[in-house]
Amino acid sequence: MQKSDDVTGTMEEVRGDNARDGMSRSVRSSGFGVAKMSDISDGIDRHAVPSGTGCVECLATGQWWFHLRRCAKCGHIGCCDTSPNRHATAHFRETGHFIITSFEPGEDWFWNYRTSQAFHGPRLSPPSSRPLMQPAPGPEGRVPEDWEDHLNNDESS
């Protein structure tokens, strides 16, 4: 794999690079854009731990979420833009922390709010997702029967 400010490669090459140094300089794969290290390094702290296993604000207010997102800078867990409350985006607007990653099992994409581009990023401090036993939408016991009628379908993060 090339080592420049604009590296591209296959997912196997990217995963190999991430395994060695924890973060590739940039990635283009599976329809994902190129993310230059200079564009994202201020938005990622690989050592920040997740704030919990569910959306912080939803848990505090008795609400529910559809999918979870993790702030790559501080570890804040918020709900996606399809969720009724969109707490991950609210966290970005309040803090300026502009990189998030999915906190869903099996998903490893990152999102840059500044560029509106998805990319594959580094491994962050574990855990990398909500517990497998935790349902989505969640949390268990708070999701209304007609939950699909409450989703925001105009944007998704």
Contact 28, 11 (CB under 8 A): no
**pLDDT at 23 > cutoff 70:** no
User: Does the pLDDT at position 17 exceed 90?
Assistant: no
Single out the residue of 92, 109, 102, 45 nearest to residue 70, CA to CA: 102
37-51, 66-80, 121-135: least confident range: 37-51
What are the chain's domains? 43-142 (3.30.40.10)
The pLDDT, as a whole number, for residue 41 is 81
Closest CA to 90 of 58, 48, 115: 58
pLDDT of residue 37: 60
| pLDDT tens digits, 28-64 | 334 555 556 656 788 999 999 999 999 999 999 999 9
The stretch 99-123 carries a mean pLDDT of: 95
**Cα distance between residue 59 and residue 150, in whole Å:** 17
Confidence of residue 8 (pLDDT cuts 50, 70, 90): very low
Between residues 6 and 72, which one has the greater pLDDT? 72
Tell whether the model's pLDDT for residue 75 goes beyond 70: yes
State the number of CA atoms in the 13 A half-sphere of 11 facing the CB: 8
Percentage of the chain with pLDDT > 90? 70
Local confidence band at 155 (pLDDT 50, 70, 90 cut-offs): low
Name the percent of the chain lying above pLDDT 70: 73
Average pLDDT, the chain: 81
